[in-house]
Amino acid sequence: MVALWVKHRLNQSYGTYEEYLLQDPFISGKTAMSIDGNSLIAMIKEAQTVLGDKAVKNWDVVTMPVDPQNPNVTDTTSVDQILAIDAQSPNVEAAWTFLQYVNGDEFARVSSKRNSGSFPVRTSYIADEENHNLQAFYVLAPVEETVFKDYGEMPNEIFGEIMNAISAELSEAELGNRTVAEAMNRIQDRGQLLLDGKGERPEESAE
């Protein structure tokens, strides 16, 4: 059986902050695993403070599932910022000094004290009092060919329509109006029609 939960559902309202935290089934202990980013760690810690025993207690981190043919790479990891020096810059030496600082040990130590939502390249200052396996975020290398590589070729209006189609189909699956497999097939069909310039909605599947 496949269970589907759509995070941050549109038009979802919560009476209290506690209800908002508990809507995540991993935090509330209703699911055994969650595929998420490092922001979930901060959310778990916040929930433990606010919710006490209602929040998940024993948890840890592993890598994302990998392709057996390429077990050392993943398309779920990306580099947040890349800094470079313009070849025509009149201040190359000053720029190089700055790059050395932001990629150095001192900057890593200072920036580790704030939660930016990303992990630094240097791992020596990543602190976790409960010794969770945060190294899992560093084990796999970013794959060069990702699902995002051709996004620049897609017109903005088409991208928006495809994302709307994905949201609509997943909402239907969440409500139980179709299976996850049916929703995925319809997303594929609707997306292809949009890319082909037709934009029609596929015929409703026979119940």
Cα 16 to Cα 20, 21, 142, distances in angstroms: 7, 9, 39
d(CA 173, CA 190): 15
Asked if the model's pLDDT at residue 201 lies above 80, the reply is: no
Task: Tell me, yes or no, whether 83 and 137 share the same domain.
Answer: yes
Domain final residue, candidates 142, 159, 182:
142
**Is 104 inside any structural domain?**
yes
**Is 46 inside any structural domain?**
no
Asked if the model's pLDDT at residue 74 lies above 80, the reply is: yes
The pLDDT value given to residue 53: 92
d(CA 207, CA 204): 9
| Total Cβ atoms within 10 A of residue 22 | 19
Nearby residues of 199 by Cβ (< 8 Å), 6 or more positions away: 161, 193
Arithmetic mean of pLDDT, 179-202: 83
Task: Tell me, yes or no, whether 167 and 133 share the same domain.
Answer: no
Task: Tell me, yes or no, whether 129 and 90 share the same domain.
Answer: yes
The pLDDT value given to residue 206: 42
The domain containing residue 90 runs over which residues? 73-142
**Is 83 inside any structural domain?**
yes
Could you give the number of structural domains in the chain? 2
**Is 17 inside any structural domain?**
no
**Is 203 inside any structural domain?**
no
Segment 19-44, tens digit of pLDDT: 888 988 999 999 999 888 888 888 99
The pLDDT value given to residue 149: 65
Task: Tell me, yes or no, whether 137 and 80 share the same domain.
Answer: yes
**Is 55 inside any structural domain?**
no
Task: Tell me, yes or no, whether 138 and 176 share the same domain.
Answer: no
**Is 13 inside any structural domain?**
no
Task: Tell me, yes or no, whether 137 and 168 share the same domain.
Answer: no
Token pair 């720029």 in the structure block, residue: 95
| pLDDT band for position 187 (cuts 50, 70, 90) | very high
The pLDDT value given to residue 93: 94
**Is 167 inside any structural domain?**
yes
User: Which of 202, 163, 164, 166 minimizes the C-alpha distance to 184?
Assistant: 166
**For the whole model, what pTM was predicted?**
0.63
The pLDDT value given to residue 38: 81
Cα 32 to Cα 22, 55, 155, distances in angstroms: 15, 13, 39
d(CA 155, CA 50): 43
Domain final residue, candidates 101, 117, 142:
142
Q: Which helix (H) or strand (E) holds 108?
A: helix 105-111
Task: Tell me, yes or no, whether 134 and 156 share the same domain.
Answer: no
Arithmetic mean of pLDDT, 103-109: 86
Cα 74 to Cα 20, 70, 207, distances in angstroms: 31, 8, 38
Amino acid at 32: A
